[in-house]
Amino acid sequence: MSPSQPPLSETPETPEALSETLAACVESLALPQIQRHIFLCADQTKPKCCDKAASIEAWNYLKNRLKTLKLDIPTAERPACVFRTKANCLRVCQQGPIMVIYPDGVWYHSATPDVIEQIIQSHLINNQIVEDYAFLQHPLPNPKN
């Protein structure tokens, strides 16, 4: 614990303060505007699907490209955004890095920076699955139907 932080027992966290903090986090991350959520197997504790350095390179590429293209935040032209999560392991320990995009339920193998760029351009921007790397399509059910 750093000297500037009070011990947890001294931190006055009322339910109202926690709710405000959580609400601020939800707003800052634009969670209600998420259209798609990408999970990428990267920085694994025990690398099995690919080399750990390759997975970290893929993660950094994904993160930076989403930011550069402003896909990670809502804009006036595009009110929805793409959220990303680094997963320790997606349990498909073959041909990694493995990436899955929800709610589409499209699973991709070999998600290197070059492949990630194809996925961003085709799938995320133009709604076209990159068939050469997609090994499973299992969309989440639509609860409204």
Q: Residue 82, exposed/middle/buried by CB under 10 A (0-12, 13-18, 19+)?
A: buried
Kindly report the CA angle at 133 between 127 and 139, in degrees rounded to 5? 50
Question: Both tokens of residue 76?
Answer: 């006036």
Q: What pLDDT was estimated at residue 1?
A: 44
Q: What pLDDT was estimated at residue 141?
A: 86
**What are the chain's domains?**
34-137 (3.40.30.10)
Q: What pLDDT was estimated at residue 142?
A: 79
| pTM metric for this prediction | 0.83
Positions in the chain whose pLDDT score sits under 70: 1-12, 18, 145
